[in-house]
Amino acid sequence: MTFLVIFFISLLSTIFLTPYLIMVLQKSGVIDAPAKRKIHQGSIPRMGGLVIFLVVFTLTLTFYSDISSIRFFLLGMIVIAICGSIDDVIGIKWNTKFLLQSIAVALLMLQLINQINEIHFFSIVLPAYVAFPLMFIFLLGTINSVNLMDGMDGLVSSYSLFTASVLFLLAMNINNFFLLVILSAICGSLLGYLKFNGFPARVFLGDFGSLFLGYLLVALSSMVSIGFNNNTLDLAFPILLLSIPIIDTLKVFFKRIFLGKHPFLPDNEHLHHIIYRNRVRHKTTVFLILIYNLMFVGLAVYYILNRNLDVFYFYLPIVLGLIFAKQIFEFSLRFEKFQGIIKSLTQIPAEMFRVTYKIFVPFTIAAVLLITFILFPLQTEINQQNLIIMLSLGVITLVLAIFHKRYNHQLILNIYFFFNVSIFLIVSSYPNSLFKLSYLFSTNVKFALVLVSLIVVLLFIGLFVVGRERILPKEKIFLTGIDLTMAVFVIGSFFVENLFENLLIINIPQAIFIAYLLYIWFKIIYLFNSKLASVIFITSFLVPITALAYLLLTKLI
C-alpha cells in the first residue's frame, strides 16, 4: 500500500509541478535551440529533469527513515544533479563534466562497496585490482550512455520508466524497502513527466535529467543485482539490462576513434538517429527502440532469476543487430514489404490507446464492482449512535446531491462521489488495513483480488495521463485546483496517522487514498460516457447507505 501511495503522490506532484517549471525555464532562458544534429524545430525548455529529481529526492527522504544508510548514494545524486544543472544553464567543458561525474561515481561506489563482498562478471570472480577500476568505468560509462541516448522526445523518459518498472518487480522479490520506495517514486514521476516530454515535447530532460536518470538506473540495477546474489555484485545483470545505451555508445565511441574524430563530441550516429533518418516517424522510432529493448530486458530477468550462462548465446546476435542497425535498415528498406511493416508499426501506438481504452473501461468498472462486493461490509467497531449519525448524513447528502444534479454542478457532484466512497471504505475496512502489498502473495484470495482490482484502476489512470491529448482537446482541463487541494488533504492524512498512532483515525488514510483513486477514475469515466457516470454516481450513494443500514441492523438485532 505504501508503494501505491508513493507512486500516486509522485505521479500527481509531477503533473502539477511540471507546467510551472516549464514557465520558469522559459522566462529564465534555459532553452534548447534548434541545431543541425537536433531533431526538434523550435526552442524547447530544457532541464525538465529537475522536477523528477525534486519529486524522487523528497519522497525518498519522506518515506525512507534510515537516511544514513544511503548517504553516499544521495550525495552522488546531488553531485550529478549539480553537474547536469551547470551544463544546462551555462554550459560546461567535457573535462570539468568528467570530473564532477567521477566524484558522483566515487560516492556511488562507496555506497555499493559497503553492501558487497565480491564482484563477479557472469561466473568469473574478479580480483580487487580488476574489479574496482572496471566497476568505476562501467558506472561512469553507463551514466554517460544514457545521457547520449537522449536525442528524441520521450525516448530516455519512456526507456527509464520501463526499466524502473522491471527493477521494481524484481525488488519485490528481495524485499528491499529502500529500492521499492525510490523505484515507485521514479515510476510515478516518469509517468507524469511523459505527459509533457512525449512527442511533441513541451520540455526536455536536459543533461540534468538524462544524467540523473542514468545515475539512478545504473545504481539501482546494481543494487538489485546485489540483493539477488547475497551481497555479491554481478555486473552481468546491469550490463544486460542497460545494453541499449551501453552498446550504442560503445559503437559510436569506437567509430569516432577509427575515423580520427574526438570520441567525446556529439554527432548523429546513434541508434535513434539511424532509424529516424530512414523515413521512420518520431513516435515509431521511440516505439521500435523500446520493443527491441524488450529482448535485452527479457535476457536480464532470465539471467538474474536462473543464473544460466546460456543467456550469452542469445545475447550476442541481439547485440550484433544493434551494432549493424544502420546497414540492416538501409538494406531492408529496399524491399516494399519491409516498408509496409514499418508503416503498420506507425499505427500501433495510436491503435494501442484506442483498443486499450475500450477494454479498460469495462474492466475498471468490473474491478470497482468487485472491490465493492468483497468489502461490503466486513466488520466494524463503530457504535450504534455513530452509525445512526452517519446514515442520517448519507440520506441528507443524497437529497442535496439530487438538488445539485438538477443544476448540473459537476464539481460538486464529483466531491459527493469522493465523500460516498470514503464513507463506504471506512466502514468496510475499519479497523483492519486491507490494502497491504503482501496480500497479493497471500492465501487470502479476496484481499488479493481487491489489490489486483486497485492496480487495474491505477493502470487505467496512468494510461489516461499518458494519452490524455488523444481524448481531450488541448484546452480542456482535467485536473483542477480542487483536485490538488484534495490530494494534499489525502497526503496529509498519512502524516497525521504517523504522528498520532493511537488515535481512532488509524487506517482511515488508506481508505481516503483509495477513495481519491476512484474519484479520479470516476472523472475519467464521465469523459467517456456521462450517462454511465450518472448511474455510477447514484450507486455511490446507495452502496454506503445500504452498508450503514446493514451494520445498524446487525447492532440492533
Q: Is the pLDDT of residue 475 over 60?
A: no
Distance CA 360, CA 18 (A): 27
Q: Is the pLDDT of residue 439 over 60?
A: no
Distance CA 274, CA 272 (A): 5
Joined together, the cell numbers standing for residue 148 give: 547520449
Angle subtended at Cα 188 by Cα 186 and Cα 192, rounded to the nearest 5 degrees: 115
Q: Is the pLDDT of residue 212 over 90?
A: yes
Distinct helix (H) and strand (E) counts, the chain: 21, 5
Joined together, the cell numbers standing for residue 358 give: 475500450
* Peptide bond before residue 431 is cis, with ω within 30 degrees of 0: yes
Q: Which long-range contacts (CB under 8 A, 24 or more apart) does 333-338 make?
A: 333/278, 333/279
- Select from 204, 209, 170 the least CA-distant residue to 56: 209
Distance CA 267, CA 98 (A): 18
Q: What confidence score (pLDDT) does residue 363 get?
A: 83
Q: Is the pLDDT of residue 10 over 70?
A: yes
Mean pLDDT of 113-125: 86
Mean pLDDT of 501-526: 73
- Select from 410, 423, 389, 455 the least CA-distant residue to 542: 423
- % of the chain residues with pLDDT over 90: 18
Joined together, the cell numbers standing for residue 423 give: 464513507
Q: Is the pLDDT of residue 169 over 60?
A: yes
Q: What single-letter DSSP state applies at residue 437?
A: G
Q: Is the pLDDT of residue 158 over 70?
A: yes
Q: In this structure, how many other beta carbons lie within 10 angstroms of the beta carbon of residue 146?
A: 28
Q: What confidence score (pLDDT) does residue 399 get?
A: 79
Angle subtended at Cα 243 by Cα 239 and Cα 244, rounded to the nearest 5 degrees: 160
Joined together, the cell numbers standing for residue 370 give: 468487485
Joined together, the cell numbers standing for residue 474 give: 488541448
Report the SS3 class of residue 125: strand
**What is the side-by-side order of every strand in the sheet holding 118-121?**
124-125, 118-121, 232-234
Q: Is the pLDDT of residue 419 over 90?
A: no
The answer to whether 108 and 139 have CB atoms below 8 angstroms apart is: yes
Distance CA 209, CA 548 (A): 50
Q: Is the dihedral of CA 228, 229, 235, 236 positive or negative?
A: negative
Tens of pLDDT, residue by residue over 42-74, are 678 888 889 999 999 999 988 888 889 999 999
Lowest mean per-residue pLDDT among 27-41, 160-174, 383-397, 451-465: 27-41
Q: What confidence score (pLDDT) does residue 77 get?
A: 94
Q: What confidence score (pLDDT) does residue 240 get?
A: 92
Q: Is the pLDDT of residue 222 over 90?
A: yes
Q: What confidence score (pLDDT) does residue 456 get?
A: 82
The answer to whether 189 and 79 have CB atoms below 8 angstroms apart is: no
The answer to whether 485 and 496 have CB atoms below 8 angstroms apart is: no
Mean pLDDT of 528-552: 84
- pTM equals 0.73
Q: What is the mean pLDDT of the chain?
A: 79
Q: Is the pLDDT of residue 435 over 50?
A: no
Distance CA 179, CA 111 (A): 14
More confident site: 403 or 223: 223
Distance CA 209, CA 204 (A): 8
Q: What confidence score (pLDDT) does residue 341 get?
A: 59
Kindly write down the DSSP assignment for every residue of 152-195, as one continuous string.
Answer: STTHHHHHHHHHHHHHHHHHHHHT-HHHHHHHHHHHHHHHHHHH
Joined together, the cell numbers standing for residue 534 give: 450518472
Q: Are strands 44-45 and 31-32 parallel, antiparallel or unpaired?
A: antiparallel
What pLDDT band is residue 436 in, cutting at 50, 70 and 90?
very low
Q: If you search the block for the grid coordinates 545494453, which residue do you land on?
A: 243
Q: What confidence score (pLDDT) does residue 105 get?
A: 95
- Select from 410, 479, 2 the least CA-distant residue to 195: 479
Q: What confidence score (pLDDT) does residue 40 get?
A: 52
Mean pLDDT of 111-134: 87
Lowest mean per-residue pLDDT among 14-18, 31-35, 131-135, 229-233: 31-35
Distance CA 141, CA 98 (A): 10
Q: In this structure, how many other beta carbons lie within 10 angstroms of the beta carbon of residue 505?
A: 14
- Select from 190, 66, 180, 64 the least CA-distant residue to 440: 180
Angle between helices 410-429 and 508-528 (to 10 degrees): 140
Q: What confidence score (pLDDT) does residue 389 get?
A: 80
Tens of pLDDT, residue by residue over 329-370, are 666 655 555 555 555 655 555 555 566 666 777 888 888 888
Joined together, the cell numbers standing for residue 103 give: 566524484
Q: If you search the block for the grid coordinates 525538465, which residue do you land on?
A: 48
End-to-end alpha carbon distance in the chain: 35
Q: Is the dihedral of CA 100, 104, 110, 116 positive or negative?
A: negative
Q: Is the pLDDT of residue 487 over 80?
A: no
Tens of pLDDT, residue by residue over 299-333, are 999 899 888 788 888 888 888 877 777 767 666 65
Distance CA 394, CA 424 (A): 10
Q: In this structure, how many other beta carbons lie within 10 angstroms of the beta carbon of residue 98?
A: 15
Whole-Å CA distances, 83 to 49, 136, 238, 303: 13, 18, 23, 34
Q: Which long-range contacts (CB under 8 A, 24 or more apart) does 280-286 make?
A: 280/342, 280/346, 281/346, 282/39, 282/152, 282/153, 282/199, 283/199, 283/346, 283/349, 284/342, 284/345, 284/346, 284/348, 284/349, 285/152, 285/155, 286/152, 286/153, 286/154, 286/155, 286/158, 286/199
